[in-house]
Structure 1
Amino acid sequence: MDNNFNYHEKLLTNEYRLLLAILRDRNEDSIYPINSELFTNINWKLFIQLVRHHRVYPLIYLKLRNIDDTIIPPNVKKTLNQEYKKNIFQMLNLSVEMEQVSKLFAENRILLLFLKGPVIANDIYGNISLRTSKDLDILISLTDLKRAEELLLNNGYEKEKIPVPFKEWKRRKHHLAYFHPIKRIQIEIHWRLHPPPSKEPTFDDLWERKRISTLTTYPVYFLGKEDLFSYLVSHGARHGWFRLRWLADIDQMIKNGLNIEKVNLLLNKYNYNYMGGQALILASLLLNTPIPTRFKKLTEKKRSKKLATISIKFIINMCEFQYPKGYLFSIKSNPQKFITILLSFYPSSADSETLKLPKLLHFLYFPLRPFLWTWRKTRKSP
């Protein structure tokens, strides 16, 4: 694994080396001592592009704001400062809405847990300004989905368009998005932590281990510490860790301290242990995260090393929504792979868009699916 990383590290641009050096620095206020060589031959436009892509501009700005203008151009610090302030406004706005939604749901007897957003930033970093978030992610029981949707729609939110012919979201999705056109806020309602057929804790289990945030006046509940770590590990793995922000979360949570026995139990129970190993390897190599001794076994797993090797190239190349071929399938357990293969034979909305059939003939999509799939692939080929 080290050899694989060393190979890819040689391909890093000066801008990427500087970014990693800043994130690796353990001083909270500034990067110290300054290695002036890191700041030479930097394409600052590309550096800002990297910082934006990885959503780490709050952390980067606070480290660079006091460095002399002869080392960092003033316009670069100005740009990072603007991103930093914009994020503060965004997080404050989300915090207000988070508290209002929590109160609205509680008054209507709907239990909810916040998965991400300001409450997570405050818990991990102790400051909502140090992490970015574009929306609010909440988890509820599937039985409450209809009522929760009605509440949001009655309060000005609009629902995302979903496939109609086969109600595909019931089998393949794990959340739905709602957007408020006036507040410019998006809320994702999750009834699962991850897309099916993943194995995961029940809502009742997560609720029993919940924590209450100190960020708001009205009670806001979110995942227990070990559940949050497990969730972020599997979420990052599912997205190939293409943003360093997710690894920064893992780094900070390990720094804050975890009940490693509980984490290992959760990772093993829900088949996330190889994802946990992948996360720890990446955090260690990219951010110099010190791995606790009782976590070392996770990093020694062959599958964890393989997934980490794939992700390193993925991270360095700044790929987004273009996963390496077979990657998403490779992170599934064997039972999940079997179910995924079975689901692939079930008609999808893409089939109905390829060939329009009246509702009475929808049953024909089952035998026609292989031909429709082949047709789409053939049309996409150059």
Structure 2
Amino acid sequence: MNNDVSLQKEELSDELRLLLSILVMDHGAKITFDIQELLHKTDWDKFIELARHHRVFPTLNLKLQKMKSTDIPTFVTQMFHRDYYRNTLQMLALSGEMEQLAKMFSENGIRSLFLKGPVIAADLYGDVSLRTSCDLDFLIPIKDLERAEALLVSLGYVKDDYIESVLNDWKWRHHHTAFVHPGKAIKVEVHWRLNPAPAKEPKFDDLWERRRQSSLISRPIYYLGREDLFMFLVSHGARHGWSRLRWLLDIKQLVNQKVDWPKLIRLLRKHQFAHIGGQALLLVARLMATPLREEMKPLITDRKAEWSAEDAMYYVHRIINLHTPPIPEEVDRYHKKYLFGLLTTRQKFFFIASFLYPYPEDAKTLPLPKPLHFLYFPLRPLIWGWRMLKRRREKKLLLNRRTR
């Protein structure tokens, strides 16, 4: 198939174009005229900033060492080498912690599937040092959540209790909770869902049945089957606007493995992620020079996949960090619109309907005794209206103060 998709990257900065060009270079390939020209025009401080933002410096470090170009300043290669060394230590520390957590959960009869981190680095890149991770993510059955949290506390972890809930809406509005170990400076995220609602998901038992065992260490550590991993990675990347190129690099590595495409397409369609899979493939084709093959056709011919891929270029053109508030107002507005556009018609219905379900803010606006929390359902429109009116008044007062 022809992978000359319609996404435009000519408007990308010289630094980002160089970054992408180096990432897709084959081992031992000669430096092209285009790359040579970009090497002369690049602002190297901006290049370093981009590489760190997109979390691709481990791969860049490897590629730059093989290029051995005199046009790349020494301070750049030394900077990436130091970053690579620090990341290697971080990944080794996470590997050791992952082994300890897997052992603890297994001994206590809790099934766990590691979603990212060292197991994914080893699977996709063949080396834990070639992918970055700042935490450990694992999925467990929701019925074991309370026990798992208690075990983490017994190991010295402290819960980041950021989730506020009324009438147990946390079970579907959120999909994980976080713990931090102060002494080890390690963060873990305990998932009971792969994605927040209104995403449709496989049951844990189905994911467990299709699991794989990592060969990273001798102790059994389980992670998602290849097709389930593809679905998780594309849904995660899409939800964050593909604002880090590392997620697209993961997809590039994954599609080069032996993926059962008919099985994957059935899985994506069943859980309403087919257009998300198509979006990811179109992006890696254009940005990561990944050939599109005939077996991918059912995913990439979807117009919704094309539109969402074009929408994701907004994030590629900018350095956007959705994890660090406050998010600029323009970015926040665009991201909300983008996320709504990703939803299928069915998902949009459930998303809109979810606004009728009480929010924690309702309980703050009008505190009620727990036995009367059911009243938040009929009162929600009134409480929401009052809160919106109050916000408008506060904005108007703030504006008036600024114009004085």
Q: Same fold (TM over 0.5)?
A: yes
How far apart, CA to CA, are the structure 2 residues paired with 1:307 and 1:369?
35
How far apart, CA to CA, are the structure 1 residues paired with 2:39 and 2:238?
32
- Cα drift, residue 291 of structure 1: 1.4
- Match runs of 1:44-123 below 5 Å: 44-68=44-68, 70-123=70-123
Change (3 A) 1:156 1:225: same
Is residue 43 of structure 1 aligned with residue 43 of structure 2? Answer: yes
- Cα drift, residue 377 of structure 1: 4.9
How far apart, CA to CA, are the structure 1 residues paired with 2:381 and 2:312?
37
Change (3 A) 1:2 1:320: farther
The residue number in structure 2 matching 1:176 is 177
How far apart, CA to CA, are the structure 2 residues paired with 1:97 and 1:341?
40
How far apart, CA to CA, are the structure 2 residues paired with 1:73 and 1:374?
54
- Match runs of 1:150-169 below 5 Å: 150-164=150-164, 166=166, 167-169=168-170
One-letter identity of the residue aligned with 1:349: P
The residue number in structure 2 matching 1:318 is 319
Q: Does the aligned pair in 2 maintain the 1:345–1:369 contact within 8 Å?
A: no
Mean Cα displacement is larger for which, 231-240 or 100-109? 231-240
- Match runs of 1:355-366 below 5 Å: 355=365, 357-359=367-369, 363=375, 366=380
One-letter identity of the residue aligned with 1:368: L
- Match runs of 1:151-300 below 5 Å: 151-164=151-164, 166=166, 167-300=168-301
Is residue 33 of structure 1 aligned with residue 44 of structure 2? Answer: no
Is residue 343 of structure 1 aligned with residue 354 of structure 2? Answer: yes
- Cα drift, residue 197 of structure 1: 2.2
- Cα drift, residue 342 of structure 1: 1.5
The residue number in structure 2 matching 1:5 is 7
The residue number in structure 2 matching 1:334 is 345
How far apart, CA to CA, are the structure 1 residues paired with 2:150 and 2:310?
45
Q: Deviations over 1:281-314 (max 9, x none)?
A: 0000111111121102311111000000100122
Q: Does the aligned pair in 2 maintain the 1:163–1:349 contact within 8 Å?
A: no
How far apart, CA to CA, are the structure 2 residues paired with 1:380 and 1:85?
48
- Cα drift, residue 175 of structure 1: 0.7
- Cα drift, residue 5 of structure 1: 2.5
Change (3 A) 1:272 1:232: same
Q: TM-score of the superposition, structure 2-length normalised? A: 0.88
Pick aligned residue for 2:384 from 350, 370, 375: 370
Consecutive unaligned residues of structure 2, counting only runs of 5 or more, are 323-330, 400-404
Q: Deviations over 1:118-151 (max 9, x none)?
A: 0010001110011111111100101111111110
Consecutive unaligned residues of structure 1, counting only runs of 5 or more, are none
Change (3 A) 1:153 1:74: same
The residue number in structure 1 matching 2:325 is none
Q: Does the aligned pair in 2 maintain the 1:119–1:213 contact within 8 Å?
A: yes
Q: Deviations over 1:193-239 (max 9, x none)?
A: 11022111100000001110000121100001111111111111111
How far apart, CA to CA, are the structure 2 residues paired with 1:152 and 1:303?
42
Q: Does the aligned pair in 1 maintain the 2:114–2:138 contact within 8 Å?
A: yes
Mean Cα displacement is larger for which, 120-129 or 322-331? 322-331
How far apart, CA to CA, are the structure 2 residues paired with 1:218 and 1:197?
35
Q: Does the aligned pair in 1 maintain the 2:243–2:319 contact within 8 Å?
A: yes
Change (3 A) 1:92 1:296: same
Q: How many residues align?
A: 377
The residue number in structure 2 matching 1:23 is 23
Change (3 A) 1:259 1:171: closer
Q: Does the aligned pair in 2 maintain the 1:211–1:223 contact within 8 Å?
A: yes
Q: Does the aligned pair in 2 maintain the 1:91–1:132 contact within 8 Å?
A: yes
Change (3 A) 1:380 1:202: farther
Q: Does the aligned pair in 1 maintain the 2:366–2:383 contact within 8 Å?
A: no
How far apart, CA to CA, are the structure 1 residues paired with 2:164 and 2:250?
37
How far apart, CA to CA, are the structure 2 residues paired with 1:15 and 1:376?
45
Q: Does the aligned pair in 2 maintain the 1:156–1:180 contact within 8 Å?
A: yes
| RMSD, matched Cα | 2.1
Match of 1:70, SS state, is: coil
One-letter identity of the residue aligned with 1:333: T
Change (3 A) 1:289 1:155: same
How far apart, CA to CA, are the structure 2 residues paired with 1:156 and 1:333?
42
How far apart, CA to CA, are the structure 2 residues paired with 1:314 and 1:90?
27
Q: Does the aligned pair in 2 maintain the 1:351–1:369 contact within 8 Å?
A: yes
One-letter identity of the residue aligned with 1:366: R
One-letter identity of the residue aligned with 2:384: P
One-letter identity of the residue aligned with 1:131: R
Match of 2:180, SS state, is: strand
Q: Does the aligned pair in 2 maintain the 1:31–1:63 contact within 8 Å?
A: no
Q: Does the aligned pair in 1 maintain the 2:31–2:67 contact within 8 Å?
A: no
How far apart, CA to CA, are the structure 1 residues paired with 2:30 and 2:256?
19
How far apart, CA to CA, are the structure 1 residues paired with 2:146 and 2:239?
27
Q: Does the aligned pair in 1 maintain the 2:5–2:282 contact within 8 Å?
A: no
How far apart, CA to CA, are the structure 1 residues paired with 2:395 and 2:84?
41
- Cα drift, residue 256 of structure 1: 2.2
Q: Does the aligned pair in 2 maintain the 1:136–1:187 contact within 8 Å?
A: yes
